[in-house]
Amino acid sequence: MTRTWLIVAAAVMALGMAGTAQAAGDAAAGMAKAKSCAGCHGAKGEGVKKNPPLAGKDEAAFVAAMNDYKSGAKKHSMMNMLAKKLGDADIANLAAYYASLK
Ligand code: HEC
């Protein structure tokens, strides 16, 4: 299940990259995915209460943090669960989206 999904995500990313060429992530696709993050991180990634802001976060740092949640190197039950559901393409797209916000 997860495996199939990863392959689909990789295919989607390959298509996206063919279209945009320069950026690794697609901010528009990231925006669609970010709906599930807005409840905690804010509609514009401004951060809500104890949830850290994501707006303007460096893309590489964002990807590193998500991969750490995915692998369990960084522990936070909700982020661990969410990160595991995201493929590399999703994470790259989310990173591009949040980096584009101020
Ligand atoms: C239930 C609330 C909740 C949801 C939903 C949520 N997050 Fe988080 N997120 C947190 C909290 C709390 C932290 C800080 C955890 C910690 O201390 O490591 C965090 C941390 C992060 C970090 C690391 C921030 C940093 O500066 O190190 C990233 C990146 C992130 N979240 C991305 C996302 C993305 C992308 C989504 C949607 C797929 C999402 N989060 C959904 C609560 C949430």
For 72-101, what is each residue's pLDDT tens digit? 999 999 999 999 999 999 999 999 999 999
Indicate yes or no: pTM above 0.95.
no
Task: Choose the CATH number for 2-100 among 1.25.60.10, 1.10.760.10, 3.40.50.300, 3.40.1390.30.
Answer: 1.10.760.10
Q: In whole angstroms, how far apart are CA 101 and each of 46, 54, 57, 61, 95? A: 9, 8, 8, 15, 10
Of the candidates 100, 86, 88, the one whose C-alpha atom is nearest the C-alpha of residue 31 is 100
The ranges assigned to domains in the chain are 2-100
Ligand 1 neighbour 54 (Cβ under 6 A): yes
Smallest CA-to-CA distance from 31 within 8, 54, 61 is with 54
Is there an atom of ligand 1 within 6 Å of 96 CB? Answer: no
Q: Give the closest residue (by CA) to ligand 1 atom 12.
A: 51
Token couple for 59? 């893309």
What's the pLDDT tens digit per position in 45-57?
999 999 999 999 9
